[in-house]
Amino acid sequence: MVYASIKLLGVSRINVLMRLLEAKESNAEFQTELMLFREHFDSMYSKQFKSIKTYDVIDNMRNSLLHGETYWQKLYGVLINLICILVN
């Protein structure tokens, strides 16, 4: 699996990790799950952000939550959904 080789590279940004997984992972089911996740995310947040770059928005959300800059209840659901896709 591509994830194991990416982990060895020490990728520390979720937006970089997601782009690498999207580009390199060959599992069709995984690719479909990522595509559906991005479509759903984009439809939810398209009014909030003028230009959606899904993984950059998620990376910013993650950093804001991790460093205590913001506390948004909805963000936890987004991140948990993404974690479930990656773990599955």
Q: Is the pLDDT of residue 3 over 60?
A: no
How much is the pLDDT for 13?
83
Cα 60 to Cα 24, 32, 50, 53, 55, distances in angstroms:
23, 24, 15, 11, 9
**pLDDT for 31-82, tens place per residue?**
888 888 888 888 877 666 666 688 888 888 788 777 776 666 666 777 777 7
Cα 42 to Cα 24, 69, 72, distances in angstroms:
22, 23, 17
DSSP state of 50: S
- Taking residues 18-25, what's their average pLDDT? 83
How much is the pLDDT for 78?
74
How much is the pLDDT for 76?
72
Cα 8 to Cα 2, 4, 86, distances in angstroms:
10, 7, 16
Looking up tokens 């937006």 gives 15
**pLDDT for 8-21, tens place per residue?**
566 778 888 888 88
How much is the pLDDT for 74?
63
What is the helix (H) or strand (E) element at residue 85, kind and residue range? helix 73-87
